[in-house]
Amino acid sequence: MQIIPAIDLIDGKCVRLSQGDYATAKTYFDDPLEVAKRFEDAGITRLHLVDLDGAKAGRVVNHGVLDRISKYTDLVIDFGGGLKRREDLDIVFASGAHMATVGSVAARQPELFLEWLQLFGAERMILGADARGGKVAVSGWLDDTELDVVDFARQMASRGVRQVISTDIAKDGMLTGPSFELYEALAHAAPGLRLVASGGIGSLDDLRRLKAQGLHGAIVGKAFYEGHISLRELADF
């Protein structure tokens, strides 16, 4: 299982939220490149970069940060937040992203997302399947839909999606453990999908349990920033 640290961006700074609430934003680093270099120096190879300003605005905002991290590290970066138009994808790929995570368009304009999947390939496009109460949430988790998250992932997998990042929003930033039941249901609904867990991870035991479930990856954010899991432990895992 791949460990994927997260950097969430507001005003170009590294922040974390609780349950997706922008009012809870806490800044950890003024320069995200600094923490990205720390991850790389520890031997970590992958980074999950989220443009929270972009998710709220409906367009990519923090692509300059992406550009700097991609230029000054060799991290494999997946970028999400505000990817609503083809032009947004062009911007983030030109700025150094290896993969793009798309949720809102996939939920609200699935045929457009599937066009992008064909255009850029399943290795570069990640489905964002984030849920509140089992229903898909979009637009930086500010809006809810009536789409069942497990059905959503199953349908997209049947249309060619190979990678999914899924967050149970109620767990996000709470450090009380991820939604193991959600990931079990997703894995059962779409066998063979490269499923990445996100949200709620607070300990190495959580990571061990996710690994035992057969997940492809796990995104770690606040647990690192708050000192619940050390950088060395992340790298060793």
130: annotated active-site residue: yes
User: Token digits for 66?
Assistant: 């992406």
**Where are the alpha helices (H) located in the chain, listed in sequence order?**
32-41, 52-57, 63-72, 86-94, 104-108, 110-120, 149-158, 180-189, 204-212, 222-225, 231-236
d(CA 213, CA 93): 32
Among the options 130, 168, 172, 206, which is catalytic? 130
Phi, psi of 122 (to 5 degrees): -70, -20
For residues 180 and 209, the answer to whether their CB atoms sit within 8 Å is: yes
Tell me whether residue 31 is one of the annotated catalytic residues: no
Residue 83: DSSP 8-state: -
The structure tokens 């045929």 sit at: 111
Q: Parallel, antiparallel, or unpaired: how do β-strands 13-18 and 217-220 relate?
A: unpaired
Catalytic residues: 8, 130
